[in-house]
Amino acid sequence: MPAGVLLAIHGMESGFGQFFGKYPVLSSGATVAYDCRRSAFFTGHFLAALTLVDRGWLDPAAIGAAHGEIGHTQFLAGNVLHYGRDGNGDGRVNLYDAADAMASTANYLAAKGWRRGQPYGEGTHNFGVLNEWNAATVYQQAIAYAGVRIDD
């Protein structure tokens, strides 16, 4: 995974770890799970957050974003369970640890079809994979733009 992509996501999502959000992860997760507009989607992530608490991977008082996003790269809890990686070798996945967040983000993008060694500018296959991270085209463009400049 190119470092530029990971650093660009890290910068966009948490200001390089300076701001993880301002909402209790469990409360915000429960709220969006209850909201009927996307209840089915968020219920799974809320239940996953409870699993993370049970495993000791998430503090019950953890703070995150408004939809229950967690840590340096703002993963949803279900994605932590599926794609989370222990980047620092301590035996747990903690998205508030930068090494774990970077390893997990790289694993997520690889699982979604990232092609190693291929470009990721607009119009490429890898640019399309960025849609899996965030569906907003302007977000994808920003990640690609910043990432290419970081890599150069």
End-to-end CA separation in angstroms for the chain: 14
Residues 32 and 38: beta-carbon distance below 8 Å: yes
Q: Tell me the whole-structure pTM to 2 decimals.
A: 0.93
User: pLDDT per residue over 48-78, tens digit each?
Assistant: 999 999 999 999 999 999 999 999 999 999 9
Residues 101 and 73: beta-carbon distance below 8 Å: yes
Distance of CA 48 to the CA centre of its chain: 14
User: pLDDT per residue over 113-147, tens digit each?
Assistant: 999 999 999 999 999 999 999 999 999 999 999 99
